[in-house]
Structure 1
Amino acid sequence: MAILLDFFPSLVLASQSVARKRLLQEMGLEVSIEPTQCDESHQEGDPAKAVHLLAKRKLQAYLSTHAKVAVPILTCDTLVWCDGKLIGKPSCRQEAKEQLLLFSNKSQEVHSGWALWFNNRVYDGVDSATVLFKDLDEQQIERYLDLGEWEGAAGSYRIQERGKELVSKVEGDLNTVIGLPLLQISEILACDCAR
């Protein structure tokens, strides 16, 4: 598998996500954080379409406020779909608890959309993974919430941290669950550059 470092040594991540930044840095990339402040509201009921739309909107917002762009720009968005509900970041601890109670002993779909400006061109896509949660009781959930990992996390957990202890199985790219479909992005860039 090609990695992003094969295509460029550095990029701007237009996101506040520490997890995304860490993934990119672990690949050897120099990462600058410059989050966009664009509107993330939408009426889209399909989670894959919603994250795709939001990632592209964030990229357009970044490009519209930066006249000259010299390095690649990456934007992302992640949402969870469970029991017919679209789930984003919780606004408070109680909402985080409700989300985790909903996930207990169930499968959920995690959808991560992305958009990349590179070589005067926009690449974009969306990837999905399925996460099966363990049967959780309220005490387990409260102990997890005490860690604070729920803050700013779609679905109220971070699978790359202690949140993995809540999960019994992941089907698909783990990085998609973290919020950055590295496998898909690398494959698309590799196919395009091979032409």
Structure 2
Amino acid sequence: MILASGSLARKALLESLGVTVKVFKTGCDETHEETDPAIATELLARRKLASFQNTHPLYEMPVLCCDTMISFQGSLIGKPKNRQEAFSQLSLFDGNMHEVHSGWALWYQERVFSGADLAVVSFKNLGPDGIASYLETEEWKGAAGSYRLQGAGRNLVERIDG
């Protein structure tokens, strides 16, 4: 399968399921005006797929594109620009629940399938020291909401529903 994304976590997840993965980054525009995170993530996943199809018109393998966005108290939260913003994002989640929206688009057998999924994540009470300790892992870089569940980020989480 082709993963049209630079996400090492998504690649590792697919490979752990026995899928052989070829990675192609799309580099498409991820700006949008959408306020509904489910719609926004599916829109961005479909945009990434269209970008891949435009630059690779001849391909036979299935192509998967994804996007993830966090929603917290009505605000959409993406990837942090720097460590200070990552600290601020994780401080919002400290001892609270937030929504993780994952949009996906799959080209398979000449058809496009797409959708969005939701998980509600409850964070442990971390405090400033716990957050700073996690930031030392640098897993926050390039991660929506400043954390990844595939690594040390799982230690931030108390519960996941969805």
| Fold equivalence (TM over 0.5) | yes
Counterpart of 1:119 in structure 2 is 109
Query: Following the alignment from structure 2 to structure 1, what is the Cα–Cα distance between the partners of residues 100 and 5?
Result: 18
| 1:168 equivalenced with 2:158 (yes/no) | yes
Alignment of 1:1-195 (within 5 A): 11-172=1-162
Distance (Å, rounded) in 2 between the aligned partners of 1:38 and 1:50: 14
Where 2:13 maps in the other structure, the secondary structure is helix
Which secondary structure does the structure 2 equivalent of 1:35 belong to? coil
- Cα shift at 1:85: 1.0
Residue 183 of structure 1 corresponds to which residue in structure 2? none
TM-score by length of 2: 0.98
- Give 5+ residue unaligned stretches, structure 2: none
Question: Distance in 1 between the 2:124 and 2:16 partners?
Answer: 29
* Larger helix percent: 1
SS in 1 for 2:131: helix
Amino acid at match of 1:133: F
Amino acid at match of 2:111: R
- Give every structure 1 segment of 4 or more consecutive aligned residues whose post-TM-superposition deviation is greater than 4 Å: none
For normalisation by structure 1, the TM-score amounts to 0.82
SS of the residue aligned with 2:160? strand
Find the aligned partners of 2:21 and 2:106 in 1 and give their Cα distance. Answer: 14
Q: Percent identity?
A: 51
Indicate the SS of the match to 1:30.
coil
Matches of 2:27 and 2:148, distance apart in 1: 23
Aligned residue pairs: how many? 162
- C-alpha RMSD of the superposition: 0.7
C-alpha deviation, 1:64, in angstroms = 1.1
Give, in angstroms, the shift of residue 67 of structure 1: 1.9
How far apart are the structure 1 equivalents of 2:136 and 2:103? 29
Tell me the alpha carbon deviations over residues 14-69 of structure 1, each in whole angstroms, 9 at most, x when there is no partner.
Answer: 00000100011011111000010111000001111100100000001110111211
